[in-house]
Chains A and B, each alone.
Chain A
Amino acid sequence: MSLLEIRDLCIHYPGADRPAVDGLSFALAAGESVGLVGESGSGKTQTALAVLGLLPDQARVSGRMRFDGKDLAGPGAHASLRARRIGMVFQDPLAALNPYLTVAEQLGLVLRRHRLATRREARQRVIDMLERIGLPDPPRQARAYPRELSGGMRQRVMIAAALAAGPDLLIADEPTTALDVTVQAQILTLLRDLRRDTGIALLLITHDLGIVAGNCERLVVVDRGRMLETGTTKDVFARPGHARSAELLRAARDDAQKAPDMMSSERRPLLGIHGVGVRYSESGRGAIWGRRQLAAVRDLSVRLRPGETLGIVGESGSGKTSLARAVLGLVQEMSGSVSFLGRTLPARLEDRDKGLRRHLQLVFQNPGSSLNPAMTAYDCVAEPLKVHAPELAGAEQRARVMRMLERVGLDPGLEARYPHELSGGQAQRVAIARALIANPSVLICDEAVASLDATVRQGILRLLADEQRRTALAILFISHDLHVVRQFSHRVLVMYMGRLVELAETSSLFERPQHPYTRALIDSIPVVDPDVAPADASIEGEAPRMPGDLPGCAFEPRCRYAVDRCSAERPELSAGAGNRVACHRAGELELGARR
């Protein structure tokens, strides 16, 4: 018999033009792991909330939901059944944990709510639970507040809370989307271990088919509230039964957009970054000893040629965005210099004249915050023209803007829309049009496709590649998503705690990584193939938030290949052709690619 059975579930909000969920049916057996897959707006999260009885009051729900033979329909029905036998893990653990309670207090509350422990026993039980989910030094972490934990640690605590009452079903809603790939691999490993040890069933909600491939036996593909198909992961991956799921699969696999071949590479470098360092000073805890200096980027040099895409990867906090901001002149304090066509640029944006500013443009991650909510798409795109070509007559300006909108693939009918009336992909196209209309030479994309669905992302990457082909645009492509970087970049720069650790041609970097950190990043990408057994996380822990100046290699504490020399002496970046790498053991290690 099924543990969870959903039949004809419909969720409708008054005033919405279509139901959030429209006739969804699937079942999940005890101990089984099912992936609920779809892009944003497909109704995945609504389904989970319906099962948990957490939908807002105005939602109109119909259909049957049975858990272990008992009817779950109606708000509040079997609240205790749900609380005890279904555990839930949300995407953002910081929002789901109470900021005013320590880890021990929160988990203790869960235990006492279910009468699993008295106040006195709770503490020891909590420490046992933390041990089980792999938190280092549980007695100390139990006293911590959520904000004192790293993202991965918080998500582990969330999982511990969900498992506290010994549920039969764990619902995880995008549990790793907000985390770095390395930490994602650790959390997925933890979930696999827990399932092996306890036999708990898992409903994994995700947009990432790579995660489904390695972690789910069956999957349900949903799109715009409707179920497209369901089947075993192997079958659906081998023979998708619906055009839309085939499209999702194609978008997830490698065969999408490739970066165009480089334009003639003999020209002098367009952009030079020479020994750039960025420091932030921070007051706060530790301020007794004065303001603390935090180095976000340390002594980094690289050159960018016209028509080249340079990918920049690294975990969050590795200094990718700070490097971009330094190039753009947006940081307060910077050492080293940035040159454009051989001319050294003033460090501060305010000291760069309009003609210079035009050449360096930025596309942000989230168009929702990078477009002015009070300006229409047309006004957003027209503004750079008004600044750089004020002599243009109204009609000519309008013609140029409309041509630009068309070039980025936007329906001209959308010109009068405000950003919030556009979809994420459309809004990002407006942001790209705004960046491109003044004919820049260098475009910096800071996670520019990270918040977009996979199919939309491919469209944006195709657009950027077309622009590059057309104008020899150089692109600095910052991303935490190695998959996208691999597709789209000519060369890749790997950063760890503000330092360049490896720089190489894309194919060489992915096939023959020389630095153990690069290797670990590559291993962490989920493979979009159910026949490949998912690899367990290959590095432990997370980059420290407050990096002090270590005498040796910054990666040494997490490196499995570290020797004595690594903690004593800082490795220099190797020179010459091939991969340039900062590792003492670069030559001797065999780090061949996994695939």
Chain B
Amino acid sequence: MSIRAALGQVAARLVRSRLVVATAGILLAIAALAVVGPLLSPHSYLEADFDRRLLAPTLADLHLFGTDDLGRDLFVRCLLGVQVTLVVAIVASVVSLVIGVVYGAIAGYAGGRVDSAMMRLVDTLYALPFIFFVILLMVYFERNFLLIFVAIGAINWLDMARIVRGQTMSLKEREFVEAARLTGVSPGRILFRHITPNLMGVVVVYVTLTVPQAMLVESFLSFLGLGIQEPQTSLGSLVNNGVRQMEQAPWVLLIPASLLALILASFNFLGDGLRDVLDPRSRER
């Protein structure tokens, strides 16, 4: 009951922030288009037409974004790329959110040796060269859609765990936590009923900044040829493909690249906007 009311309050504050509303609107519109667009188009992402390779954007036959080097409709493929990229980024962020919050909150609340041991593990994982690690995974397990989540989640939760641990350590010294301890509330209940809800502001902001980070990583892996496999596609592999046609058909590069940039920028602005709204210190001014 209380969580819902708290979210309601935050929502009311969010609506007042134009930056948040505008960027959230853009993201929702893109996501809706990515879901609905392919259904409306007469083309499918698979269908190749070698007579119509590298067409410029045209209304004729509804090739709104033109076609690629195999004559596939770029509009549908871009929207499919948006779907895949968004799903990968959001799922990876949620994975890192859950692991990071639980891990960080436990380490921060337990303190002492438990904390030291848990955080040294995080430090060790940080020290692994990420790209090398991913290439190894890909080579060993073959390319796999799931693996991309694992790889991205595996790095992002480290940051989340550190942030949550720091917040938890300061929250557990707060008087309302002492009051709960004096009452006899169990440590688990203190952690999940008193500390976690107060972490949410920071966590939500951090997640909106993690999503674009995860998108970039995914695009980067796809660009290197380590990500999504044809005929599936993502914005990163579309850009990769576009680079090869850059001189004859620049739109094959420019359209997915602009979409990627637009989504990334929106998420970053959304994160900034959320931080302004949720961080009490910035509200005092």
Question: Which residues of A are at the interface with B, using a C-beta cutoff of 8 A?
Answer: 328, 330, 349, 353-354, 357-358, 360-362, 364, 366, 369-376, 379, 383-384, 387-388, 416, 418, 431, 434-435, 438
Contacts and interface: CB of A to CB of B under 8 A. Distances in A.
B61 interface: no
A238 B278 CA distance: 50
B176 A369 contact: yes
Given A374-B198, A387-B184, A379 B179 contact: no
Nearest to B200: A374
27 contacts: A330-B182, A349-B181, A353-B184, A357-B182, A357-B183, A357-B184, A358-B183, A358-B184, A361-B183, A362-B182, A370-B175, A372-B176, A372-B180, A372-B197, A374-B2, A374-B197, A374-B200, A375-B193, A376-B1, A376-B2, A376-B5, A379-B1, A383-B185, A387-B185, A388-B183, A435-B179, A438-B183
Secondary structure at the B interface, as helix, strand, loop or mixed, is: helix
A374 B175 contact: no
B176 A384 contact: no
Contacts of A372: 176, 180, 194, 197-198
B178 interface: yes
Contacts of B3: 374
A450 to B, nearest CB: 14
Nearest to A417: B5
Nearest 8 pairs between A and B by C-beta?
A374-B197, A354-B184, A370-B175, A357-B184, A372-B176, A384-B183, A369-B175, A364-B175
Interface string B1-27: 111011001000000000000000000
Given A366-B175, A374-B198, A360 B2 contact: no
A358 B183 CA distance: 6
B174 interface: yes
Contacts of B186: 387
Given A376-B2, A379-B2, A416-B5, A371 B176 contact: yes
Secondary structure at the A interface, as helix, strand, loop or mixed, is: mixed
B198 A373 contact: yes
Given A369-B174, A374-B6, A383 B180 contact: yes
Given A354-B184, A374-B200, 10 more contacts: A330-B181, A330-B182, A361-B182, A369-B174, A370-B178, A374-B194, A374-B198, A375-B194, A434-B183, A438-B183
Given A375-B2, A376-B2, A328 B176 contact: no
A434 B6 CA distance: 21
Nearest to B6: A374
A370 B179 contact: yes
Contacts of A387: 183-186
A358 B185 CA distance: 11
Nearest to B185: A387
A432 B9 CA distance: 26
A387 B193 CA distance: 13
A357 B176 CA distance: 16
B201 to A, nearest CB: 10
Interface of B: 1-3, 5-6, 9, 174-176, 178-186, 193-194, 197-198, 200
A316 B180 CA distance: 26
B172 to A, nearest CB: 12
A93 B272 CA distance: 33
Contacts of A374: 2-3, 6, 194, 197-198, 200
Contacts of B198: 372-374
B5 A370 contact: no
A376 B194 CA distance: 12
Contacts of B185: 383, 387
A357 B193 CA distance: 19
A317 to B, nearest CB: 19
A319 to B, nearest CB: 18
Given A373-B198, A379-B2, A360 B182 contact: yes
A127 B2 CA distance: 58
A328 B197 CA distance: 26
A354 B185 CA distance: 8
Contacts of B180: 372, 383
A557 B98 CA distance: 59
Contacts of B5: 376, 416, 418
B176 A383 contact: no
B204 to A, nearest CB: 13
A362 B2 contact: no
A110 B262 CA distance: 51
A369 B173 CA distance: 11
A381 to B, nearest CB: 11
Contacts of A354: 184
Q: Which of A357, A372, A431 has the most CB of B within 10 A?
A: A372
B202 to A, nearest CB: 13
B71 to A, nearest CB: 56
A330 B178 contact: yes
Contact of A383 (B9, B178, B183, B200): B183
Contacts of A371: 176, 179
B186 to A, nearest CB: 8
Contacts of A361: 182-183
Contacts of A369: 174-176
Contacts of A435: 179
B176 to A, nearest CB: 4
A383 B194 CA distance: 11
